[in-house]
Amino acid sequence: MSCPVHHSVQMNPVITPLEWLLGTWQSEEPGEGRFPTIQPFRYSETLQFSHVGQPVINFSFNAFLVDSKKPLHRECGFIRMQPGTNKVAFIVAQNTGLVEIEEGELTGQHLNLRSHTIARISFAKEPHVKEVSRTFELLPDGRLEQRVSMATDSQPLTEHLRIAYVRSP
Distance CA 86, CA 94 (A): 25
In the prediction, which pLDDT does 1 show? 46
In the prediction, which pLDDT does 32 show? 97
In the prediction, which pLDDT does 8 show? 79
CA distances from 12 to 21, 80, 81, 107 (A): 14, 11, 11, 19
In the prediction, which pLDDT does 26 show? 98
Q: What pTM does this model have?
A: 0.93
Report the sign of the C-alpha dihedral through residues 116, 54, 19, 97, in that order: positive
Q: pLDDT, tens digit, for every residue of 44-76?
A: 999 999 999 999 999 999 999 999 999 999 999
- 127-142: average pLDDT: 97
Q: How much of the chain, in percent, has pLDDT values that exceed 90?
A: 93
Domains of the chain: 13-167 (2.40.128.20)
CA distances from 10 to 66, 68, 119 (A): 37, 40, 34
- Is residue 39 predicted with pLDDT exceeding 60? yes
Mean pLDDT, all residues of the chain? 95
Kindly indicate the confidence band of residue 7, based on its pLDDT and cuts at 50, 70 and 90. low
